[in-house]
Structure 1
Amino acid sequence: MNAIPYSIIRRGQPGVAGGGDQKYYAFVKRDRVISLREIIEEITAMSTLTKGDALNAVENFLDLIPKYVRKGHIVNLGQLGTFRINISSNGHEQPEKVTAYSIKGARVIFAPSAEMKMKLAELKFTRSSDAFDNLDVSPNEEAA
C-alpha cells in the first residue's frame, strides 16, 4: 500500500482576532481529483460493462441515493458505508414549541462501514518532500 503524502500548514486559533497562537499541523497533500469519467473507465476495464452501461448504472445510483435520503431512509451501501440525513435545530423549553421552523438546516452524513474503517486504519503517511515550503520552520524541527 502506498503511503499518503502530507504537508505541514500553520493555523491560528479559530475565532481569535489576529489568529491567536499559531500551531503547525499535518495536512493531506492531495494530488488531484479523480473524475467520474476515470472511474467509469476503470469499471469498464474491470468488467464486461460498456462505458455507456457503467455510466448509466452510476447515474441511476446517484439519482437514487438522494431520493431515499430525502425520505428519511438510511441508505446502506454494504462494504462502503451508509448515507443518512441529519438536522440541526433550535432548542425550546416546551416540546410543543418545536416545529419545522425550529430546524436550522440539514446535511447528508456518510458513515463508513466497519470494513472501510478497518481499511482506513491501515493507512500509512509520509512527509512530502516540499512539506516545509512557504513556512518559517526548518525540516529538522518536528511537526505537531
Structure 2
Amino acid sequence: MTIKYKVIERGQPGVVGGGEKKFYANTISNGELTLEKLTKRIAQNSTVGGADIRAVLYAMVEVMQDALDEGSIVRLGDLGSLRVSISSNGETSKDEVNTQSIKNAKTIFTPGKELKKMLKNLEYEKVE
C-alpha cells in the first residue's frame, strides 16, 4: 500500500508573522477503520463472533484507561505500548514545580517491532 501525501507551507512556530516559511510533506488519510469495521475484520479472520470481539475491545479500553490513570505503561505485545506523558511550564527553581505547573497530559504510543518494520517499508506517492 502506498501512503499519499501533499505539500503544505508552514511558518516558524512562535515567530510573529510566521517567520521564514518552508514546505513540508503532509500525509493524506485514506478513510478510517472504525471499531465496527475492526470487529468485522477480526471476526472474518477468526472463530470468534462479533459480539464477543466488541465486548473484549470495549473491556480492553476500560482496563487500559484504568492502568494509564494509575501511571502504568500498558504493554500490548507485538502491537506496542501506551504511556502517559505530561508537559509543564518551566519554573525558575525545583521547589516551584507543582501540580499547577502541569499544562496537559497526552498518551504516547510506541509501536512494536512489526509495526516499526512496516513503517520502514512504506512507499509514498505525491498528490497535487
Matches of residues 1-144 of structure 1 in structure 2 within 5 Å?
Answer: 2-90=1-89, 91=91, 93-95=93-95, 97-128=96-127, 131=128
Structure 2 distance, partners of 1:127, 1:99, is 46
Q: Distance in 2 between matches of 1:51 and 1:80?
A: 21
Any stretches of 5+ residues in structure 1 without a counterpart? 132-144
Q: TM-score, normalised by structure 2?
A: 0.86
Q: Secondary structure at the match of 1:48?
A: coil
C-alpha displacement at 1:94, in angstroms? 4.1
Matched to 1:60, the amino acid is A
Deviation at 1:124, TM superposition (A): 0.8
Q: Which protein has the bigger strand share? A: 2
Look up the SS of the partner of 1:34 in the other structure.
Answer: coil
Is the partner of 1:72 in helix, strand or coil? Answer: coil
Shift of 1:84: 0.9
Task: Please say which of residues 34-43 and 2-11 is displaced more in the overlay.
Answer: 2-11
Give the 3 Å change call, closer, same or farther, for CA 14–93 of structure 1 in structure 2.
Answer: closer
Residue identity matched to 1:93 = S
Question: In angstroms, what is the RMSD of aligned CA positions?
Answer: 1.8
Number of equivalent positions = 127
Distance 1:8 1:85 in 2: 32
Shift of 1:15: 2.8
Give 1:93 shift: 2.0
Moved more, 4-13 or 40-49: 4-13
1:140: which partner in 2? none
Cα separation, partners in 2 of 1:89 and 1:21, compared to 1, 3 Å:
closer
Q: Radius of gyration: which is bigger?
A: 1
Letter in 1 for 2:4: P
Q: Identical aligned pairs, as a percentage?
A: 35
Deviation string 1:59-112 (CA, Å, 9 cap, x unpaired) is: 1111111110111111100111111112223435244x4433333322211111
Q: Which has the higher helix share?
A: 2
| 1:33–1:94 CA distance, 2 compared to 1 (3 A) | closer
